[in-house]
Amino acid sequence: MCGIVGFCNYKDNYIMDEAKYRKHIELLKKMHLSISHRGDDQCGEYLNCNVGLGHTRLSIRDVKNGMQPMKETVNGKTCAIVYNGEIYNTKELRTELEKKGHIFETNCDTEVILKAYIEYGIDCINMLNGIFAFAVYDESQKRLVLVRDRVGVKPLFYTIKENELIFASEIKGLFSNPKVEAKINMDSFREIFGVGPARTPGNGVFCEINEMKPGHYAIFNQDGFKECKYWDIEAKEHTDSYEDTVYNVRFLLEDSINRQMISDVGVCTFLSGGIDSTIVTAIAAKNNVLNTFSFDFTGNDKYFVSNSFQPERDAEYVNYALKHIKTNHNYLFCDDKQLYESLFKSVEAKDLPGMADVDASLLYFCSQVRKENVVALTGECADEIFGGYPWFYREDLLKGEGFPWSKNTQTRELLLQKDFARELKLSEYAAYRYEESIKQVPVLYGENSEEKKRREIGYLNIRWFMQTLLDRMDRASMYNGLEARVPFADHRIIEYVYNVPWSMKRRNNVEKSLLRDAFKDVLPEKLLNRKKSPYPKTYSPFYEELLKKKILQILDDNNSPIHAFIDKRKLLEYIKEPTLYGKPWFGQLMAAPQLLAYLIQIDYWISIYKPTMI
């Protein structure tokens, strides 16, 4: 795992003279230094007439020899690469390339990607199984190629300023270039309040900041910039029996987990006691005694309140799993103060407001995991793929239009100044983004309305909700120099399970029954039958008091940015009686305290980035 940065301009010459060369080398250093938290083991720069590439490295494979940028010349064709990610079929690709005469000087996947590009051109990306964002400069064709993995596990942001393409793994890397300024407009606030903390695919919230969409690549040459799709989910008829479907799911996930165990440094897992993380841990621990980590909050043993979304705590199930799986387990706890302080760090990690304490707590936990391990396997993404969320099966959430995890924008609109809310038109914006996405859903001709609706929910979850969680996982882990891998997000699993009928995914009215049946010999019975429980959150009243105290401080400070759009009177009413504004407003975990935390994050975000309003 690493961080990449760079720039390209065909109407300039970066190495025209010594002074210009030094200037652009220093700029590359400044850019990759800004994201050095993603890995500070090594760093490097590559500069020629029209392109500059920078890299900061977290050493995981071939620690001694995998330095970047990496440059190769084969049969007169010269290419240079900077790359962030992991390729899980490196061994197979390397064997094929060796048969074609390629000689390798390292054991790292970076060299495999570079030689695959030299051999196959842009088509090489269809051969990659992994998580990746990379840039290849092809000197012979005088073009820069940017690529992002199919599902969007690894980030890649870019902008075009004065004929120059500028890119980076994180937005802060772009802002380290003096040509890129932090600017926002009303559409930025429509993203934040209308669909946030999710983001429209490709939208960087800041004006003129774009993110490469999952499954896309772009070519920048003297003719300009062109972004192309190379992968998407396809609708296909599912003809496998239930028994064969169970077998195929078992094979695909087990293969994904085993591939993702490849590392030259120690691998650990996150173990929550849910079926997803327990499956990952059980398979990963078959031939290894791993470090495992569970997360909880100080005081939850006293303050936890069972509810329909979170019926029980994880601790009992973690302990039960540990009776059946031999690991070196670590219980991690986050207290109120640590959680509160991490709210601000998580904005810095993401460059945007996020899922409030859901982001903040994961950031803190990752900082603790990193003290022991550099690579972690997680159970993230299973619910989006196998249909574990209530909006997949609850009639009240299935019916109607709009994103099922955020049915309306009413709660947020109620706290905004009337004129500001009127101009934003949040409901219309959210509806537009929803309709835009629905048009892209792959369906089969002749499918009944119920199955078509299931496909819509599944596609929206993969393209929106899952992307929000992947963004969260990447920034929280990489802010701490920790590589978090997601075996469930293997594109082969997504392609296959998307087309499995709902009757198989929820057999006998049991959530994720397909996944449970595929691993029933791996999961202890108590866990096999456990009802879904989401990522833990704090129930401490003292944490809420910290949030209220901060909001009141913000409201007392006339220089606080949120005064420009928040209705102070309504927000004070909300602080006194948050139940006035209803149920969770995003997903299952973001309710009243999280809305306060979200507003605190927005205020902090504007304070530190100081964007110009245009």
Which amino acid belongs to residue 595? L
Cα-based angle 124, 127, 131 (whole degrees, multiple of 5): 100
Which amino acid belongs to residue 319? N
Cβ atoms of residues 414 and 570 within 8 Å: yes
User: What is residue 191's DSSP assignment?
Assistant: I
User: What is residue 232's DSSP assignment?
Assistant: -
Distance, in Å, from the CA atom of 593 to the CA atom of 306, rounded to the nearest integer, reads: 17
What are the residues whose beta carbons fall under 8 Å from the beta carbon of 205, sequence distance 6 or more?
A: 184, 188, 191, 192, 199, 352
Cβ atoms of residues 246 and 521 within 8 Å: no
Q: Could you give the angle at which helices 568-576 and 541-556 cross, rounded to 10 degrees?
A: 160
Query: Rg of the chain over CA atoms, in angstroms?
Result: 24
Cβ atoms of residues 223 and 458 within 8 Å: no
According to DSSP H, which parts of 129-241 are helical? 171-175, 186-190
Cβ atoms of residues 102 and 115 within 8 Å: yes
Distance, in Å, from the CA atom of 524 to the CA atom of 529, rounded to the nearest integer, reads: 9
Residue count of the chain: 614
**Residues labelled catalytic:** 2
What token pair was written down for 320? 């039960």
